[in-house]
Amino acid sequence: MEKEESLQQKNKIEELDEKSEKGKPEKALEPEINNVTNDSKKKKLAPADKIKDLEDKLVRSYAEIENQRRRFEKEKEDAFDYGGFSLAREALNLVDNLERSKVSLENDESLKNSEALKKIIQHLEIINKDMISILKKNNIEEIKSINQKLDPNFHQAMMEIEDEKKESGTIVQEIQKGFMIKDRLLRPSLVAVSKKPSNKNENQEKDQQNQQKNEKN
């Protein structure tokens, strides 16, 4: 009896396993199908097409390497030419201070027309010339301003001065010297430009002339 019961239990277990196997979903075959199709595509490429594909990749790689080389060369040149840009701009303060010292001494009433003042001014001018010479040797040069037409790329107008003889926008005064380092602006020139007298002044003069005529009459 016991043997029969154990046989029946085994049969039931086997039946349940068969049913569970039948109920399981079939495995997806899509990845395998895709791999087969990709392999077939690769196999279909002719040798000439493969060579052309490799040539295209080689050309693109060479172009990228060439662009990187050019960028590196440009950065190296800029570093060599303009590496001292900040230092050069700070050095201009020395030129400014020399010019201010000269003007201040010339306006000092206690030193005017004295031999001491003449000697000091001479020494300051020598130092200033040496400074300008050193700057030129390093490709730093002054921007021409006086009697030049105002150019926003090189000049910065700080004020306007009425002048009948000068064309409007002509630089008549240089407040601070501007400098270039090679083809790059180091700092702009601070200038005053001319402008034609306003019509108000002309009208005032005419009114005054008319009043004088009326008084005479």
Q: How confident is residue 144, by pLDDT bands cut at 50, 70 and 90? A: very high
Does residue 132 form part of some domain? yes
pLDDT higher than 50, residue 110: yes
Who has greater pLDDT, 213 or 71?
71
pLDDT higher than 90, residue 203: no
Burial (Cβ within 10 Å: 0-12, 13-18, ≥19) of residue 189: buried
pLDDT higher than 90, residue 11: no
Which pLDDT does position 29 carry in this prediction?
A: 45
Does residue 171 form part of some domain? yes
Cα separations in angstroms, 20 against 8, 23, 26: 19, 5, 12
Domain of residue 169, residue span: 82-199
Does residue 71 form part of some domain? no
Does residue 163 form part of some domain? yes
Does residue 51 form part of some domain? no
Does residue 135 form part of some domain? yes
For the chain, how many structural domains are there in total? 1
Asked which of 60-64, 155-159, 177-181 is least confident by mean pLDDT, the reply is: 60-64
Does residue 137 form part of some domain? yes
Does residue 191 form part of some domain? yes
Which pLDDT does position 61 carry in this prediction?
A: 86
Q: Give the domain CATH number at 114.
A: 2.30.22.10
